[in-house]
Amino acid sequence: MSRTVPRDELNLSLAVTSLMKGVVYRDSAETTWQHVVGLPAQVSDYVATLGLAVVIDEAEGYAFLRSRDDDELAELGIPRLVARHQLPLHTSLLLALLRKRLAEHDTTDAGNRLILTGDQLRELLTPFYPTTTNEARTVDQTDTAIRRVTDLGFLRRMPGQDGEYEVRRVIKAFVDAQWLADFDAHLVEYADIAREETR
């Protein structure tokens, strides 16, 4: 455990630049985390000038920057700093399935971290591919979705554990409970769309 950073040593520049690079996690960047949670108002004021908002979830142990709504940005006369990109269907599906799996995991006594193997991740997506004799193609497409979700920071390869991934809890901030409830209702529709797109 790192030492507690005294209030007079908290560094706004360190907090903001770390958040600009991506999600700050308490468990993997404890000292940086202390700078972020020690200066929430200052961080919020600073990033607001860039059209961003800071999201800090102390209970789950993560913080990140989010772009303000387009309407707010237009009102302020600030262009969007980060362009929006539509995710490929199977990447979106994997995010939703991981969020659902995390919600199920949280209702059990299975511990705080959800760890899945590469095979378990592939099994989540398998129903969304057409039945085909070209299994290698399906595995390749599934691995591409897993890689994208990992690059986005929602999965983390477990160090020293070949083929194991931790589902990062920040996924809860991007796939909320309402969206998850609607997801179940549309699951069959998504499966049909996914199968059509891969034909």
pLDDT tens digits along 102-142: 988 988 866 688 999 999 999 998 887 777 667 788 888 89
The Cα–Cα gap between 172 and 162 comes to: 25
67 against 14, higher pLDDT: 14
Confidence of residue 89 (pLDDT cuts 50, 70, 90): confident
Q: Are strands 52-57 and 24-25 parallel, antiparallel or unpaired?
A: unpaired
pTM tops 0.85: no
pLDDT tens digits, 25-49: 998 899 999 999 999 999 999 999 8
Looking at domain 89-197, does it have CATH number 1.10.10.10?
Answer: yes
CATH architecture of residue range(s) 7-76:
Orthogonal Bundle (1.10)
Number of H helices, E strands in the chain: 9, 6
pLDDT tier, 196 (very low <50, low <70, confident <90, very high otherwise): low
Residues of the chain with CATH 1.10.10.10: 89-197
